Every structure is written in C-alpha cells, then in structure tokens.
Structure 1
Amino acid sequence: MNDAHPAPSHNPAWPWTWLALCLLALALMYAGTGIHRIGPDPDALDFDTGAALATVRQLIPENRPHPTGSAENRAVADRVEAGFRAAGLTVERQATDLCTAMSPGCSRVENIIATLPGSGGDNGERNVLLLLSHYDSVPASPGAGDDISGTAVLLRAAHELAAEGPWRNDIVFLVTDAEETGLRGAMAFVEQHPLAERVGLVINLEARGAAGSSALFETSTGNHALISAYADAVERPVSSSLMVEVYRRMPNGTDLTIFIDDGVPALNFAYTGAGSLYHTERDDSDRLSPGSLAHHGEQMLALARAWANADLAEARADGDATYTDLFGRWVVAWPQGWNLPLAILAVLLTAVLWLRSEGGVLAKLGALSLPLLLLVAHPLLGAVLTFPLAKWPGAHLLDHPQPMAGDWSIFIGSVLLALLAGTLAARRLSPRALLYGAWFVYALLALLLALTLPGGSYIGLLPLAAFLLPLAIESLLRRGRYPLASALLGLAAATYMAIYHYAVLEALGSFNASAMRMAALALFAIVAMPLLAARPKTGLKLRGPVLATLALLLVVTTVATTRPVATPDRPRWANLVYDLDVDANGVATNPQWRLNTYGVTAHAAASLMGFTAPPAAVDLPGTPRRPMYTKPAPSLALDAPALDIRSQRQDGDTRVIEATLRGARDGYLLALVFDTPADLLGLAASGVMMTGPDGRGIATFNGFGNDGIDVTLTLPADRDVSATLVEFSALPDTPEAREMLEARPADTSPVQRGDHAEVRRRLVL
C-alpha cells in the first residue's frame, strides 16, 4: 500500500495543531457528557419537579432520620399511606417481624402497598406492574435521596397514572420498610404477599447520593426486550450494558435483588452524584438535586406508561442486549450474540490494514508496542496523580466538591502520554503503520471484552465502526492518501467512550481512584497518538508542545490541590460515639468517647473536638480492628441490654438455649456477637435458622427497641461460650457531648449509624 503523505515535506505547526485538536476533542466530550456527571436540567424534563420536591418535604418535614422501627419511621409511613389514598388508590399495610439468613438477623417491617386496578383483572397471569422504592433511612440520615426521593416519585406517579387510566395491567406501588437493614421489606413481600405471584415487571428507584443523572444500572438477565422498550420510551436515557454487567458481579444489593433472585424481569435506577452525602445527616430535602429527582420521575412515568398497557410476558427475552446511551439522548443496542463475530471481523480487518502498511517487521511491531505501552502507562500515571489530587489534600473517597481542575489534570496527563509516545514514533515509523497498529490494538481490546465482559464490547466496537466504515469510503475517494477524515471520526468516537467511562467510574471512586479512572482515558490516547504522525516526519518540532503540555499539567494539577476537598454540602464523615462496657457481673467499665471516621481521617475534627491522642487500634466485637480516635469519658448510668434465658437443655454434644434478647435504651439495633464464631452452632428466631458454625457468629436485630426478641441458641455442651450483646442507641445528651458536637467543623457530618451510644454487655453462656 502506498504510504505517501498528502502534505508538503515540512509542517512544523502540525504538533501544535494536534495538541489543540486533542484538547478540543476532550473539552467537547466533557461538555457533551454533562448529563452523566452533573445530571439533567430539571426545567427541561417532562416531570412536575416542584410538586415532587414538595412531596419530599411533606414526607420528611423536619429532615430527621427515620430508621426501621422508630416513631419517626411510622410517621413517614403514615404520610406515604395518606399520599396514596389522596390519589384514589387502595392501600394496605403489611406488618411482620422477618428473620433471614441473608444478613443474619431480624427486622420489624411495615410495608405500604397501594394498588391501581387494571382492566384485565386477576386472570392468573403475571399482569402486575410493580413500582418500587423504600422509605426507611439509616440512623444518621433523613434519607431525602435514599430513598424518600424514590418514594416521592412513586406518589406523584400514582396521581398521574390514576388520572390517565384505566390501564390494562394492575399497577402496584410497593414502598418497603427495612431495606437498609437487610432488604427484609422486599423479602417479606415476595415470601408472604399473594400479589408477589402476579408480578410481571418491577421498576425500582434508588440512590447512592443526592445528585447526578438517574442511571439504569441494573436489569434482570435476558434484558433485550426491556432495553428496547427503554430506548423507545425514555427521552433522556443514561445507561450501558457495562454498568449492568459490572453491577451483577458486585456484592451490593437493593430491594430489586430479591425480585431478580425470584426470576422477575426488573429495572433498577439510581443516581450517584454527591456521594459524600450518602447515608449522612446532610442527605436532606434542601440538598437534594431537583434534576436528579426529575430524571427519576421522567423515566419512571415513561416506562410505567409504556408497560401498563403491554403484555408483561414480553418483558422476558432469551438474551441480553449490548448497548450504551449517546449523550443521554439516544440508545444504540444490538443482541449480545453479535459481539464476538463483530470483534473477530474487526480484528481481521485491522490486522490486514496493519500488515499491508509500509515498513518491515520491526517497524510494524513498534507500531503495536506504543498503543500497548499507553494502556499500561495510563493507570501508572493515574496512580502518581492520586497523591496531589487525593492523598495530599485528603479528598473524599466518593466525591469532590470542585472536581473540574482534577478532571483536567487527568485529561492533560493523557494528552502528555500520547504526545510522548508520538514523539518516539513520529520520526521513525510509518504513519499508516502507527494508525492501523493502534486500531488493531483497539480491535484486540474489543475481542477481549467480547470474550470476558460482553456487556462492555461496545467500548471497542462503536469506535471501530466509526473508523472502519468511513475508511472504506475514503479509501475509494482518496486512494493512496492518508485517511485523515476516518482517523478523526474514530478519534471522536473513542474520545466519547473515554470521557463517558471516566464519568461512570466516578461512581466507584473519586480522585482516590485516579489510576482506575485514568485507565479509561487510554481509549482516547491510543488513537490520538498516531495522528501526530499524520503529517510529515521531517520538520516535526515536538519539544515545544511537550514542554507546553507538561507545564499545563503542572499548573492545572497545582490548581486542583488548592480546591476545597470538603464543604458543608460535600462533607467528610465522622461519628461521635459513647462506649460503655458492662461485664458479666453487671459492672460498668471502660467508658470512653470515640470518633469514628471513614474514608479520610478527620484530623481537624478530632482536634477541635478534644481528641488529642493520635488514633490507636481499637478492638470492638464484630468490627475489624482499625485505628480510631479515643479519649476517656465519664461513667454514665446507662442501662445495658440483656439476654434472659428462659430454658436450656442438653441434646447430645450440644446445649439448646431458649432466650429473649432485650434492649434497654430503646435503641435502633441490637447485635449479638460471639467471640469464637465456631462456638455458635445455630441461632434461630421465628422458626428461621439465621446463622450456624459456618457464619461469622453475628446476628443483628433492627427496629425492636426495648421489645423482646425470642431466639434459640445451639452451643457446644462441653464448654462455656463467650459473647457480647451490643445496643446501638441515641447519644447521651450531656454538656460534654454537646460541646464536642458544637465543635465538630461544618465540613464534617455524621454518617450511617450517626452519633450514638454503644452499650455492650459481656455474656458467658
């Protein structure tokens, strides 16, 4: 193949043009993927955002936490029920105490089930469209995002759908309790409610933050029909088959997990921006993003309308789709079975192009080695950038208040790597060999994904299509000349994939995960690099662009290190805890204050709150040993939880103890923890064996307050067994506690269990 150049023999301005082109491509794609990073404009969405925000505020008017079993949670449940009744729906409450082996323990559950009857009636088929959210919160948080926002959307959807009906299918709105304590509300519905047998499709709304786009991140298997309907119905889709496939491989779960495990077709939506607000005191109605709420609502209503009159049997399909959204406006999808043939075809085509390019064997191998080098160099440079962007200023694991400078530090780092690799090649290797070698590597990446992670195959296949299809035309029209137009189109598609997945990976980690996120930028760099040699090898002056890019990287990175890493609206996490041990004789010992910090240690908060000693390792029952701030505390007269033995008997080599666990401070959680997990041969409640010798020796009981919980313990008969019963309850209101809470800086928030007391009773059984 002729490797002639279309340009004159001297073009010293091309490296600067290339640099400007790369920065422009990154900037345009960064702006174009704004919906993925910051969410949509609520004013542009087809949803009554104002009404939904008002509903959020009505459900949690005081922005108080409402964990399972609390009086606050019952008040929220009453408001949810009243909202559905106001829409004209039939409402019932499903109340039960559910014990499970998954997340061993029990929860007090009160689900809310509202039904909008369809015209089809109960014909014995799966003709129920189930719209799902949960209303309980963790003990630290008002839960405006997680998941009062989803509940508010369901209430607004109930009003809309009731006014627009009748529909063919029954529409059931299930608002579960006890999601945060082991998904037990969803389990109670699936295991105990007769409607569960008729559910043909479930759509769930969740959140892991308080901002960003509402992304379809999980589906049931065999999702091809679901994705086709999603693409047709939703105006602003945000999803990809890679999100779905990665989430399937993660240990996380939501209420939808229970329905998917039950074989029901399902769709799961969540937003993950402002992750530092997740499960914190600051996840309130004032900080909830209107755009996220509206995006939830627009998609839920669009899909509900699409499926309410459809045959829900059509939600099932034999295979998955491979797909991605484009700029949050369109979905490109095809059957997953196409991936491997398409990837093999792309490998063969690019291999032929690479092998026919000018140059000997060593030159061709050199053209392959540089893209491979870039694939390795990107996560390495990302790991280096972690220190100025995250470790040095102490950035949050999930979130950064002002990420733009850090983002551009990583983008410019990728440009620098491409420029350095191009510098090595520009004067020595054939421009076509570099170009086709880079796309050959891209095709090999597509093949690897098709074999190992089929849901991610589009990452390689779509840019390859953007390069190879125009190349066929350009080769005919501009025979013998460098295919610059095809290369630029391929670069545009690859840059979109790089920036898109850079944004998606933010859900897994902020700048602490710079190595992982920068790896996505290699998709851009490996096809940008060969364009540096698209113009003549003679006369290329690369020193200036290299020095300019390096200087720009240093400036932007320096600016990034000056940005605040925690603010009141994007806080770091720290809980104030009062610890008290009560020994087997009922004597209180070792009272102390503890500052639990998560992710980034809140040194400033510790100092301001009077913790002067450095963090030291603390041993707590059932908790991994890790450094914590502690200081002595007064011995407060706090009642301890109790285990009352009702009866016991010996059964061969075991002892069977019938006992009642009881809190003493109306706490939200009791935990029974055995010193040696193997000593717990069995723990049952309500007829359910929750844990045995293969478990971790821990069971939790949520929402029972001071009510007793009857349990059956099976223990060895030949020895005493040691355990600890821990009650988690409200932080004592003392002058010292108030002083420390007032001193905690505004950029630090309680999280998860929040500020609380832990009173531990040692047991010898």
Structure 2
Amino acid sequence: MHTLERTGVAPVRAPRRTLAGAVALVAVVAVACAAWLFERPPAAAGAGAPAGEFSAARAWPHLEKIATGGPTPIGSPGGDRIRDYLLAQLTSLGLKPEVQTGVGARSFGSDISSGLAENVVAVIPGSASTGRVVLAAHYDSTTTTPGTSDDKASVAAILEIVRALKSTGQQPRNDLVILLSDGEEPGLIGAEAFAAHHPLAKDGGVVVNLEGPGNGAPSAIFNVTPGGTGLVRALSSMPHPVGESALIGAFRQSGFHTDLTTLEEHGFIGVDLGTAGGRAYYHHPRDTVENFDPAVLQMHGDNGLALTRAALAADLPAQRGAGDATFFSAFGVVFAYPGGFVAPLAALGVLAVLGLAVLARVRRAATLPQMGLATLAGVVPVALAYLLGDRVWQLLTTIQPGYAGMVFGEPYRPDLYRLALIALAVALVWGWYALLRRRLGTAALTVGSLAWLAVAGAALAGLMPGMSYYGAIPALAGGIAGIAAFLLEPARPHAALAVRAVAAAVGVVLLTVGARTFAAFGLAMGAVTVVLLVLAACSALPLLAEVTPGARGPRGRSRAALGPLTAAALVLVLIGGGLIHDRFDERHPRAAHLAYVLDTATGAASWITADDRPHPWAAALTPQTPGEWKLPLPNGMRPAHTGGAEAANLPAPEVRVLNRRQEGADTVTRVRVRSQRSAYQISLHADRPATGGVIQVAGRPGVPLPELESAPRPGAAWPFEAQFFAPPGDGVEFELRTKGAPRLVASDVTLGLDGLTGYRPRPADVDLSSSTGGLPTDSVTVVGRIQTP
C-alpha cells in the first residue's frame, strides 16, 4: 500500500497505475459478460439432426399443433383436443398410452384445490430397472393464455425426447414413465391424482419435470428436492448447464409450485427444469408460438434429454442422500460440493477477511478504528440497495401506469432497466468509497466491504445454506487476494493488481450471475437483485479504487466524484431509455382484470377488478373502493375496486344437503354441489373450519380432504373453502367434519363476459390480465343462497 493511503489521505495516482487498473476492471467486466453469454441458447437444430439428438425443428410442429389457439384450461374442449393428439403421437412412437381420469385434491395455505383431471401416461420398460424415472410436463394452461411456454413447449419437447430415446433401438436400464398431466395450473390436480392413485406412482422414483416460468432462455434448474443430492451429479450431463442452489431456496419460499411439489410429497425425488427468461409472458395472453424462440426450445430439449438419459442409466436408489448439495454453474460448468462443506467454507471466508485485517493493521495500512468504522459504514450501500431495489418497480409504475397491469412485476423488454440496476449498484459502492476514502483509507474500506461478504456467507450458512457461497467464496477470494497483494507490493505492483483482478472476477461473476438468476422473479423483486449487484461491486472495490482519481483538495474531490456521478446519471439515462424502448403497442399491449359477481341471495351484482390501479377501460365499470366485502370469492380474494352492475338472470349452483349426522362432538355433513351453468369451477364455503372429510364424484372413490398448509385467515367469515375444477354435470359431493353444523354457500365460475348488460368489449390494445390465482379475469361468478343448519 502507498504511504499516503495508510493515513487515509487520498494518494496522487500515476497515470500508468490508473490505466492498469482500468484495464483490469474492463477485463473483469468482460469475464462477467462472457459468463452471461454462456447462458444463451444454442442455434436450433434442423430436421436433419442425428436421430438420437434433440431437434427443435422436429419438436416445433408438435408445439404448433397444441399451442395454436386460445387458452386450454382443465376440462376445456381445447384440452380434450390436446389429450387426443398426445395419445396419437405416443402411439405412433410404439408406446401404449393410457388416459388416467381421476380426482386430485391438495391444499394451498388454508384453501383446498381439487378437480377431475385426465392425465396421459405411457411407459418404456427398463432392461434391468432399479426404479422408475418420471419424465413430466403438464398440457393444460390457465384461463388467460395459450400456454406456449407454460407448459406446452415442454410437452412438445417430451414428444421429441421420447422419439430420440426410441430411435436408438436400445432399451433403457430403468423404467421410463411419461406423465403429461392435466390440471397443474389450478392446483397440481393431475399430478396429485397420479401420485395418489396410479400404480406407477407406487414406491416413488426420480422425476425430471419440465416447466415454463417464462418464455425465454436460459433453460435452468430451479429446484432440486431435498434428499436428492445424487441428482446434482446429473446436472453436469446437461449440454447447457444453468442453475444454482441459491435459487432453490428462493423458489421453495416463493409460494410457487410445480407438479414436482406434489410428487415430492408422495416420496419422489427430482429436479425442475424451466425456461427462466421472459417473465412478462408468464400466464400471459401473448405467450404464443409467435413469441417463442426455437433456440429456447432447443436448449430446453437438449437439457431435458440429457437429464433423462442420465437418470435412466443411474442406480436410482443411490441418487437419494441425506442433506443438500450446494451447486452453481458458470461458463458451462457445474461446480458442486456437499452440504457439509458450507459451514467450513463460510468460516474460511471469515478467517481470510480477518487475516487481511490483521495484516493491514501490522503493515499500518489501516487502524482498527478505521476498519471498524468502514465495516459499520458498509451497511449503507447494502441497505440503500435493498430500499432502492424494492422501489424500482413502484417508481416505474408511477411513471408508466400501464406497468401496473403487469402482475408479475416485469415489463416486456426489461434489458435497459436491468442495466440500470447494475449502474445503480456501481454508483452506490463507488460513491460510498469516494466519500469515505479520505477519512478511512482504501485498505480499511476494502476490509469493510469484504467483511459484509463474509458476514453474508456466515449468516446464510445458517439460514439458507444453498445461498451461502454468494458471500463465502467472494470473501475468501478477496481476503486471500488482499493478503497476497500486501506481500507483492510495492516490488511487484502489476502482479498485485492481477491477483486483485482474479479475486474480483470470482466475486463479480458469481454474484452477477446470481443477480441474473434472481432477476427471473421480475423487477418487482428487484431488492435482492440490487443487493447481489452491490456485493459484486464490493468484490471489485480494489479495482474501483485504482481508477478513482486521487488528487488532494476540492478539485481532487470533484474528480473522485466523477465516476460515481457518471454511474448515477447512467441510471437515469437507462431508465429513461427503458421507458422509451418498452412502449405498449399491438404486440405488447396493456392488461386489465375485470370480472362480474352476482349474489342471488340479494339480487345484487357487481363489476370487480383485482387491479390496484385499473386501466381506464376497467375503471369505468369499477369506480369505487370497496369497504367491507362479504361475498366469498376463490382464495379469499377481495376486489381492489368495484362498481354496480345490472343483475343477470343466471341460476345459482344447486346445493343439496344429502346427510347430516353427529359423531361425538363432530357434525358430519354430506352435500352435493352442482353447477347449472356448466361451470369451469365450483367452490364450497363453510362458516367453520373442517377437520376432515371427503371429496367425491360419481363412479370414483372418494378423496380425503387434504390437511391444510396453514390455519384459516383470522376473522374470516368463511374459514373453509374447497374449489373443484372441471366439475361433472351431475355435481360433486363434499363430506365435511366440523364442530357444530356449518352454514354453507356455494359459487360457480364461468369464463367470458359477452352478453352482460353494461359490458363493453376490451379495446384492441388491452389484453387479459395474467392469471395469478383467485378469481380469473373475464369470468362470471354466481354466489348461491346460504344454507343454514
């Protein structure tokens, strides 16, 4: 370290040293960009690709067949058409597919989702099977989208994967079960019916589940079940490996689910592989074939085929293991280590930073108070990153109200906004350094920034072990590099700079790739993304120090502020550019939620919207902010805005109490609910929780009410809710065990608003709101009269 830096006075840097630092910084940025480029999809393989390989050109006609047209939710005629197509294609491949029709039911929070699903199931027997490999995807969509990426691209990929496997003429070692499930979107209904009732689900197995959280690259691993540590080794078999264990913890706490969720609960282990980019198109009306890239399908299919082949060749019982492995990918390589290494690695990161602090004190580059103050001050950029990152989407929706309709918090073209987040992180860390370096010195601030990485690694090792490497590895690399640089300087300054650059590259690559991973959750979840980017900038702080002018006096301070101010100005330029670039148009329309609710008990009807800031088209019908909302809606939904509507002549669902008996302190009530409108969905609500019961449709065995994930909402007027999708014409029977005789009310939901008095068709530039659960947009709900005990 330079003598002037030890006292905290900014040094006058030689032009050559500044130039060398700039070159090193550019090199680190180039390495990070290269890591991102490795996650881009390959070119789509043509129809003439080798028979044993995946070809997007061969899979594409399947995608066009099943994804062209409107939404195909469970029970829809479009879903029936896809089911029949899948049966024909699997038969043409020499398989004997079957349709498993069954009732599935599971809970989400305090609500129950159930329905009548039609799964397409086929088997390729193994030659010396050690168990079953389930290759899964779902063919239904939500009510708002044709579902090209979620999940019909995966279904098309599976047809091509099966063809590639069959083309070799060789029997796999393990049994392969193809599960093309129905009813995933409203509640994993088909997968639950398969896992609970199909003989092929007995004894569990290994699942390769293909999903579509977005319509863009990369195709990434976003979930590995606990206890499936052996599966992490299979990730290296993917030709385009992308994924990291940090995302798994976030996914499992996010409230999102896939078919693997319910299969895991029934004893399976497995992985979720999904297209992670293009979050704006998730459940969106524009998730069409035209908006899906064949290269993305190629990457998804390549990875899915490789994972399936690896599982088919493996000793499946050996894939199970206690604990969770930690892994991440970079430059097309999967780096993994056992969960038992997490705590030691975090401890090494802490020790490396402590060692650097001791050496800085011994060499008189920084005092203990300086390093202590620098560490305490390090909370500023991290806290600002979280606060500002959490406000980015709110700011954008204020400037551009149309973004409020993007319910997953992601615009159609987010790239410039993402670059703005990077510039924001650089501005925060560089500005923090420029303000404090004269008082605390570069050495102290370097120790302080690395200390936060070490603390993050140690804290995450206990809280979310799969994310600990975000802090532990950059802290370890930075601490070792700092110690090496002390030993190399001043005799070999360029070698010292090179060591710092290598350590910075480790942290920047790891943390920026992680930030890109978390960006898949959308700009509305930007807080975590910006924090990771700030930590990446902390890893590069020694290089930022090298390019910061060091002259004394007001002029020197002004020059030192030039870099941070430029980065801050770039934030504004990029946000402005994003607002100009990401304009709404015919291909990228605004969205709005609107639904109609009729209360047959009072004869009152309402227009409602779930949008906090509704589009003017919906706002014209929903001008009021509701006070107390008493009518039960799916998932306990409360409308954001309402408006009076003319009551339509629509029949309420028929509710018949078939039997009521007393069993000790419990009242057992059996009731049949039947829609008189051929509803997409019926719901039964009770004014007290059910401690048990059964759901049953005619001719099929009853399905026990699943145990609730959480207690009913405090103060809820209707604490019990069970939804049933694709109900048969003769209705559904519910048997409820409650404390005391319950009051009951049923509702049913149909899709489409045409014909209702007062309804005006959507403008051409206003699309359906993406489905998020609750009451779907463009739906009619009829609530029946309360059935008293």
In the alignment, what sits opposite 1:459?
470
Q: From the superposition, tell whether residues 313 and 5 of structure 1 become closer, same or farther in structure 2 (CA, over 3 Å).
A: same
In the alignment, what sits opposite 2:784?
761
- Answer whether contact 1:659 1:711 (CA < 8 A) is retained: yes
How many Å separate the matches in 2 of 1:612 and 1:201? Answer: 49
Which residue of 593, 596, 600 corresponds with 1:582? 600
In the alignment, what sits opposite 2:727?
704
1:356-383 Cα deviation digits (max 9, x unpaired): 2123332232343343332223223334
- Answer whether contact 1:606 1:629 (CA < 8 A) is retained: no
1:374 aligned to 2:417?
Answer: no
DSSP 3-state at the match of 1:677: coil
Alignment of 1:538-557 (within 5 A): 538-539=551-552, 540=556, 541-557=559-575
- Corresponding residue pairs, total: 743
In the alignment, what sits opposite 2:520?
507
**1:160 Cα deviation from its structure 2 partner:** 0.9
1:114 aligned to 2:122?
Answer: yes
- After TM superposition, the structure 1 stretch with the greater mean CA deviation from structure 2, 292-301 or 234-243, is 292-301
Amino acid in structure 2 at the alignment position of 1:206 = E
In the alignment, what sits opposite 2:676?
664
1:305 aligned to 2:340?
Answer: no
Which residue of 541, 545, 549 corresponds with 1:529? 541
Q: From the superposition, tell whether residues 660 and 385 of structure 1 become closer, same or farther in structure 2 (CA, over 3 Å).
A: closer
In the alignment, what sits opposite 2:621?
611
**1:15 Cα deviation from its structure 2 partner:** 7.5
Amino acid in structure 2 at the alignment position of 1:505 = F
How many Å separate the matches in 2 of 1:169 and 1:691? Answer: 32
- Answer whether contact 1:99 1:690 (CA < 8 A) is retained: yes
Which residue of 721, 730, 734 corresponds with 2:751? 730
**1:664 Cα deviation from its structure 2 partner:** 0.7
1:81 aligned to 2:87?
Answer: yes
In the alignment, what sits opposite 2:457?
446
In the alignment, what sits opposite 1:69?
75
**1:546 Cα deviation from its structure 2 partner:** 4.3
How many Å separate the matches in 2 of 1:479 and 1:523? Answer: 28
DSSP 3-state at the match of 1:764: coil
Query: TM-score normalised to the size of structure 2?
Result: 0.85
DSSP 3-state at the match of 1:305: helix
How many Å separate the matches in 2 of 1:650 and 1:422? Answer: 73
How many Å separate the matches in 2 of 1:457 and 1:715? Answer: 45
Query: TM-score normalised to the size of structure 1?
Result: 0.88
Q: From the superposition, tell whether residues 452 and 99 of structure 1 become closer, same or farther in structure 2 (CA, over 3 Å).
A: closer
**1:173 Cα deviation from its structure 2 partner:** 0.6
How many Å separate the matches in 2 of 1:297 and 1:13? Answer: 50
1:461-481 Cα deviation digits (max 9, x unpaired): 333454456667666655666
How many Å separate the matches in 2 of 1:264 and 1:363? Answer: 54
How many Å separate the matches in 1 of 2:538 and 2:23? Answer: 17
- Answer whether contact 1:190 1:258 (CA < 8 A) is retained: yes
- After TM superposition, the structure 1 stretch with the greater mean CA deviation from structure 2, 518-527 or 631-640, is 631-640
- After TM superposition, the structure 1 stretch with the greater mean CA deviation from structure 2, 285-294 or 557-566, is 557-566
In the alignment, what sits opposite 1:427?
438
1:593 aligned to 2:604?
Answer: no
Amino acid in structure 2 at the alignment position of 1:435 = T
1:137-158 Cα deviation digits (max 9, x unpaired): 2223222222212211111111
Q: From the superposition, tell whether residues 160 and 393 of structure 1 become closer, same or farther in structure 2 (CA, over 3 Å).
A: same
Which residue of 173, 176, 193 corresponds with 2:198? 193
How many Å separate the matches in 2 of 1:692 and 1:269? Answer: 28
In the alignment, what sits opposite 2:299?
295
Unpaired stretches in structure 1, ≥5 consecutive residues: none
Q: From the superposition, tell whether residues 65 and 16 of structure 1 become closer, same or farther in structure 2 (CA, over 3 Å).
A: same
DSSP 3-state at the match of 1:605: helix
How many Å separate the matches in 2 of 1:26 and 1:390? Answer: 31
How many Å separate the matches in 2 of 1:655 and 1:471? Answer: 71
Which residue of 645, 651, 654 corresponds with 1:639? 651
How many Å separate the matches in 1 of 2:738 and 2:566? Answer: 71
Q: From the superposition, tell whether residues 478 and 576 of structure 1 become closer, same or farther in structure 2 (CA, over 3 Å).
A: closer
1:209 aligned to 2:214?
Answer: yes
DSSP 3-state at the match of 1:320: coil
**1:455 Cα deviation from its structure 2 partner:** 0.7
DSSP 3-state at the match of 1:741: coil
DSSP 3-state at the match of 2:277: coil
**1:106 Cα deviation from its structure 2 partner:** 3.3
Which residue of 506, 531, 534 corresponds with 1:493? 506
Alignment of 1:677-688 (within 5 A): 677-678=688-689, 683-686=693-696, 687-688=702-703
**1:596 Cα deviation from its structure 2 partner:** 4.0
- Answer whether contact 1:722 1:762 (CA < 8 A) is retained: no
DSSP 3-state at the match of 2:343: helix
**1:663 Cα deviation from its structure 2 partner:** 0.6
In the alignment, what sits opposite 2:715?
none
In the alignment, what sits opposite 1:245?
249
1:612-653 Cα deviation digits (max 9, x unpaired): 735545543145564544444443332221012334445566
How many Å separate the matches in 2 of 1:369 and 1:422? Answer: 13
In the alignment, what sits opposite 2:409?
398
Amino acid in structure 2 at the alignment position of 1:288 = F
Q: From the superposition, tell whether residues 4 and 106 of structure 1 become closer, same or farther in structure 2 (CA, over 3 Å).
A: closer
In the alignment, what sits opposite 1:354?
357
Amino acid in structure 2 at the alignment position of 1:743 = P
1:375-401 Cα deviation digits (max 9, x unpaired): 223223334544543433243343212
1:485-535 Cα deviation digits (max 9, x unpaired): 22222222222233222222223231x333332111111232333444448
How many Å separate the matches in 2 of 1:59 and 1:554? Answer: 43
Alignment of 1:123-202 (within 5 A): 126-164=130-168, 165-202=170-207
1:397-454 Cα deviation digits (max 9, x unpaired): 4321222332232222222222222223333334333334433432232222223221
In the alignment, what sits opposite 1:389?
396
Amino acid in structure 2 at the alignment position of 1:347 = V
Q: From the superposition, tell whether residues 649 and 197 of structure 1 become closer, same or farther in structure 2 (CA, over 3 Å).
A: closer
**1:560 Cα deviation from its structure 2 partner:** 3.2
Q: From the superposition, tell whether residues 301 and 421 of structure 1 become closer, same or farther in structure 2 (CA, over 3 Å).
A: same
Q: From the superposition, tell whether residues 60 and 412 of structure 1 become closer, same or farther in structure 2 (CA, over 3 Å).
A: closer
1:1-46 Cα deviation digits (max 9, x unpaired): 986889995547977986897677557635642565x755546996
How many Å separate the matches in 2 of 1:19 and 1:642? Answer: 74
Q: From the superposition, tell whether residues 23 and 420 of structure 1 become closer, same or farther in structure 2 (CA, over 3 Å).
A: farther
How many Å separate the matches in 2 of 1:362 and 1:751? Answer: 54
Between the aligned residues of both structures, percent identity stands at: 27
- Answer whether contact 1:118 1:169 (CA < 8 A) is retained: yes
Alignment of 1:260-271 (within 5 A): 260-271=264-275
- Answer whether contact 1:669 1:705 (CA < 8 A) is retained: no
Alignment of 1:92-103 (within 5 A): 92-100=98-106, 103=111
How many Å separate the matches in 2 of 1:692 and 1:249? Answer: 19
- Answer whether contact 1:568 1:748 (CA < 8 A) is retained: no
- Answer whether contact 1:347 1:443 (CA < 8 A) is retained: yes
- Answer whether contact 2:44 2:55 (CA < 8 A) is retained: no
How many Å separate the matches in 1 of 2:461 and 2:778? Answer: 48
Q: From the superposition, tell whether residues 302 and 209 of structure 1 become closer, same or farther in structure 2 (CA, over 3 Å).
A: same
Amino acid in structure 1 at the alignment position of 2:275 = Y
- Answer whether contact 1:4 1:481 (CA < 8 A) is retained: no
How many Å separate the matches in 2 of 1:258 and 1:407? Answer: 34
Q: From the superposition, tell whether residues 181 and 697 of structure 1 become closer, same or farther in structure 2 (CA, over 3 Å).
A: same
**1:286 Cα deviation from its structure 2 partner:** 2.4
**1:159 Cα deviation from its structure 2 partner:** 0.9
Q: From the superposition, tell whether residues 99 and 445 of structure 1 become closer, same or farther in structure 2 (CA, over 3 Å).
A: closer
1:256 aligned to 2:260?
Answer: yes
How many Å separate the matches in 1 of 2:21 and 2:417? Answer: 23
1:519-559 Cα deviation digits (max 9, x unpaired): 11111232333444448854443144344344333333333
